[in-house]
Amino acid sequence: MKSEYTLNDNARIAVIGGGPSGSLFSIFALKMAKMIDRKINITVFESKDFTRDGPVGCNRCGGVISEHLIQALSIEGINIPTEVIQRSINSYVLHTQRGDVFIESPAAEKRIATVYRGGGPKGIRIKEKQSFDGFLLNCAVEEGASHSPLRIDGIRNGDKPVLTSGGNDVMEADLVVGAFGVNSSTWKMFEGLGIGYKLPETTSAFITELEMGFESVSSTFGSSIHFFLVPEPGNVKFAALIPKGNYVTLCILGKDIDEKTVRGLLHTPAARMLLPQDVLDGKFCKCFPKLPLTTAQVGFADRIVIIGDAGSSRLFKDGIGASYMMSKAAATAALFYGISKQNFAEHYLPAYNRTRNDNRYGRFVYAVTNAYKNIGILTEAMVNVVNKEQDRRNKEFPRLSSMLWDTFTGNETYRNIFLRGTNIGMHKNLLLESAKALFRRSS
């Protein structure tokens, strides 16, 4: 390994983006540097202020994290304060065209939690403003990183990359970490470097925060997320109402999501049952973020590595969990092996490809889910099988229930969900219930 591609003492690392990926990379890299008795200097460039509510602190995310991730962070010495957790979730309600079904967590350790990624919705009370992203960024600073609010708008590639802001040189870095999302314009800088990087393909989404009041949220939603698998509006893949403090976060994923789509979903019978009329008719913030469908082409080069949604992330779910895995893999490669393109190819690319390959299973899982959403007989069979599993959950493993839980919460890899779906007994039950549904419709 050439010495110029080693992070020696006093090496300077620029992390562009202070969301979970950038903060976790900084934490891991600094911890690893201490393990090998090496001094490194990390600057996290993040212009958003996660202590402020509304758009200036918003990170365009539903804010769902798994208990598995909370435990993994705890092992790393990152203990999330209880005030950051808005709600603990141990069940969800699935709304379909053939009825609703209640699904409890298949195991106690598979609960999930909801958080505010930014400073929360506009006008949120001060005592509620506990940002998950802000917490992680503070952890990075406490570990030894510096936080700069400068917006980096250019990278000049030479012997070492030089970062610019407002036309001025800001920093010559030994390593640049692109920890940005697909909704940031930062990707243009990396595409312009000539390293072969290309932004992932994306799809549209919609996110808003609906204020209901703490007691109303508690009485209506309790500790359940409500998922919508309904055929109309037809461009919606699925939607979710996620309870938090005084608010409920509405997330819609699909194609060409617009305000008409949002209103159409909000006025479905299930949504009208859950949301008060004044909330349905009122004004609310509107956010139409993009979500990655694929991984980026070429996520690294000499002295450059890209993590976060604009690099390699999980399809639709568990983006924060993917940030944890990819940031740790990138930090391990940089600190223990080197920062050349070859180093990243050998020690970062395998983790990158694991996510890419798992997403292939994810596309199949969601294709099957879409079929069960749109075909009434299949929907009815799914609902009936899940209801029976929930009734017998103390006697036998609720296989289909667990697959749905893990699909919509991101608690498990898509590959493992796919493999569980090959169970012959489960398919016999689904075929039997489909036959019963078909008989009822024809009689």
244-249: average pLDDT:
89
Are the CB atoms for 370 and 316 separated by under 8 Å? no
Alpha-carbon torsion 355, 359, 365, 366, what sign? positive
pLDDT score for 1: 43
* Nearest residue to 401 via CA among 96, 88, 95, 91: 91
How would you write 135-200 as a 3-class SS string?
HHHHHHHHHCCEEECCCCCEEECCCCCEEEECCEEEEECCEEEEECCCCCCCHHHHHCCCCCCECC
pLDDT score for 129: 57
Structure tokens belonging to residue 138: 């503070």
H helix or E strand, kind and range, residue 73: helix 67-75
Please name every residue paired with 93 in a beta bridge, in sequence order, or none if there are none. 102, 226
pLDDT score for 379: 95
pLDDT score for 257: 87
Pairing state between β 112-114 and 87-89: antiparallel
Q: What is d(CA 239, CA 204) in angstroms, rounded to the nearest whole number? A: 12
* Nearest residue to 318 via CA among 210, 422, 258, 405: 405
Lowest mean pLDDT among 126-135, 193-202, 240-249, 408-417: 126-135
Burial class (CB in 10 A: 0-12, 13-18, 19+), 440: exposed
258-284: average pLDDT:
85
pLDDT score for 416: 95
Q: What is the pTM of this model?
A: 0.92
Highest mean pLDDT among 13-22, 68-77, 79-88, 128-137: 13-22
404 pLDDT band, cuts 50/70/90, is very high
Edge-to-edge, what's the strand order for the sheet holding 304-307?
Answer: 146-148, 40-45, 11-16, 175-179, 304-307, 300-301
Structure tokens belonging to residue 199: 């932004």
More confident residue, 41 or 92: 41
* Nearest residue to 225 via CA among 400, 103, 328, 386: 103
Are the CB atoms for 312 and 352 separated by under 8 Å? yes
Lowest mean pLDDT among 209-223, 244-258, 277-291, 294-308: 277-291
Pairing state between β 236-243 and 224-229: antiparallel
Q: Mean pLDDT score of the chain, rounded to an integer? A: 89
The alpha carbon of residue 142 and the mean position of all alpha carbons in its chain are separated, in whole angstroms, by 25
153-159: average pLDDT:
92
- Whether the upstream peptide bond of residue 289 has omega within 30° of 0, thus cis, is no
* CA count, 13 A, side-chain hemisphere, 197: 24
Burial class (CB in 10 A: 0-12, 13-18, 19+), 212: buried
Residue 255: pLDDT over 70: yes
More confident residue, 3 or 405: 405
pLDDT score for 109: 57
Alpha-carbon torsion 321, 70, 23, 37, what sign? negative
Residues 6+ positions from 108 with CB-CB distance below 8 Å: none
pLDDT score for 57: 62
Lowest mean pLDDT among 25-34, 145-154, 229-238, 320-329: 229-238
- What's the angle, vertex CA 380, arms to CA 376 and CA 386, rounded to 5? 145
Per-residue model confidence as pLDDT tens digits over 372-401 = 999 999 999 999 999 999 988 767 788 999
Residues 6+ positions from 159 with CB-CB distance below 8 Å: none
285 pLDDT band, cuts 50/70/90, is confident
Per-residue model confidence as pLDDT tens digits over 162-219 = 999 998 999 999 999 999 999 889 999 999 999 999 999 998 888 888 889 889 999 9
Structure tokens belonging to residue 234: 């037809």
Pairing state between β 224-229 and 91-96: parallel
Q: What percent of the chain has pLDDT over 70?
A: 94
* Nearest residue to 291 via CA among 243, 238, 344: 238
Q: What is d(CA 98, CA 109) in angstroms, rounded to the nearest whole number? A: 30
2 pLDDT band, cuts 50/70/90, is very low
